[in-house]
Structure 1
Amino acid sequence: MFKTRIFLTGADSFTGSHILAQLLSHDSVSARLVVKSAEAAHVIWRQCQTHASSFLDAVTIADSDLLVPGVFDEALQDLSNPFSAIVHNLNVIPSDEADCLATYIRLETDAVIGFLKSVRDFAPAVTRVVIVTSLLPFARWLGDPHIDSIAVGAIGGHSRSSSVDSEHMLATSQASSNVVSDAVIAWTKQSGAHFDVAIVTAPSVYGPTVHPLENSSDLTETNRRLWNIFSNEPLGQTVSPLYGINHFSDVRDVADAAVRALFIERASNMRLVVSAGTMPSVSEIAEIIVAKFPELQSRVGIDGSPHRHEQCNDMPPDFLDTYLMATILGVTNLRSAEVTVTDTVRQMLDLQQRKAWRSITQN
């Protein structure tokens, strides 16, 4: 049976793993995955062992090599089974080189267009490239240009959210993202590329992982805030919103939008925003957790840290309008904050219970 051949970057990332799961739910799809290490590829093979190897293969490109010109050239070549579409899900953060916001935007733009040039030169059968982005990298850089993105992902990072203007941070991050998106779309139209692009953008991304958590170190920056609300770990990350971005999307909705954008013609050269509204304050999240998991009542607390009681406008800013996402992609029922928090915390509780059981059995 003929299968649509997809090239997926960042397949081992939080959002990328959800995109992969949705792609694998389509019997008519096969994929080549770009992952950051052989270990990451091994984990995916173990998790996706029910899928025939002929439907899935992987190449390894280390994070440190992502900005090397032409690093994707060889991976994009497959003469026997050429790719027809691509999902590009890598946020390259060249923070060490960016001494100002304009430079940061230029480097981000150059990285994406550099990837598209490789697609143009080495994947002639591709007709659609979906680029998946988030506002959080821009907000992180604006909050502290010297944050090491790899370290942030590993330890949960830190936030200066309590001292930033959330509205300004959101607007500036979105404007920065728009500059990159506009440049990418313009290049695609003017370069004579044989493909078009669709850009799926989320403000920040929360939600459960595809597979059970193995360790708390696997938590994303956003999800770690939820973990810290009901655990005994340091509560620095409970300050809301993270890097000043208080709007959110559920990772499952972002993945759904990305996969739909692969196959819907009307998404051509469009920027599609996936935003479910604002993530509640810490105190409100705590109330959701206690309501859904009463057994956690004695553990939920912020140890005297200030609660953020805000009157949030129900209407999103104009630049987070989801009209195009709904009308073009048909994604109309986004998961609410309550659903996202509940599903994510349930998965975290499962991890804690498994860790507790292992401790008991080992002793």
Structure 2
Amino acid sequence: MAERLIKIGVFYDGNYFLHVSNYYNYIHASQQRLSLAGFHRFICHVVAEHEGVDVKKCCITNAHYFRGRLSAQEALQRGNQLYNDRVFDDVLMSLGVTSHYLPLRTRNGRKEEKGIDVWFALEAYEQALRAQFDILVLITADGEYVPLVRKVNALGARTMLLNWEFTYRDDTGRSIVTRTSQDLLQEVTYPVAAHELIERGLQGGVPYVKDLFLQADPNRPAAGGDDERDYTPDYGHDEVHGYGVVGAGRTGGETPDLPIDAPVYRGVIMNVNKLRGYGFIKYPPNNLFFFHQEVEGCEFADLQIGDEVTFQLGENDEGQEVAKHVRREPQPSYSTDSKRF
């Protein structure tokens, strides 16, 4: 008797997946973002191994991506963000991923997601009730989804949790730790330590693991169609405290949004650490730190030492000045001293 096709439903906590992709792009030796198409192939292989079937018998029949989102007007004020959002939507559509967005809310000067986790759980449970999948694959680390997992398991579906755990130090020496809810790991049918699986696969040259990462192609245009390269929406806010992420998101801490009429300054790039995703701007008497998420109008990877930039001043959690809304100047006609204008 022929093996029955195993239907897979994939549910993304978009903000968590962004942090995972940022890790591989800026911290991991690969220095590449995850490819969604490659990630879906990876999921099919992992499911096949756990179910003991041929990978050809595993098929992602529906996938859903959930995240809070800036309004169009807010995105317009953040360089290429509105365009990047649209390109990423094109990527999701090309793979048949249904996107679910709710507007980000401002609370105490910070952008936060509100209600997206409830929508995530309701949609997943509805799909399980309609028997739309045999296995529910969760891309999250949040213990709030334990009741969802219990309900889905009770309906007879299996559940898989792909999780990542990172420990490293940022430029200030702080320990950055990403942890998954232990309660969630205990409830799912298949808990998968994706970070370990990927490392073993890279060391062993496993094709479906190598294909996880976007490969740079200098002959391709900067964007267009279903080009996935570095267009993951990244709003620079950190609303993942429930995942056990300590110090994730902005290195040095989040500061409230600056007023539109905040002073703008000019300076020169003194250092760019493309592996770790941060740099420094000359600003006497000290050099100003900035994180990759603050770069607008161009890609962080395109910045070079000596580039002239404009920026605004913010503060990190320790009250130290940092550069925000960093934009590269098109013409090198200013002096190297940072000046307010």
TM bracket, shorter-chain basis: 0.3 to 0.5
TM-score (norm 1): 0.35
Structure with bigger strand share is: 2
Structure with bigger helix share is: 1
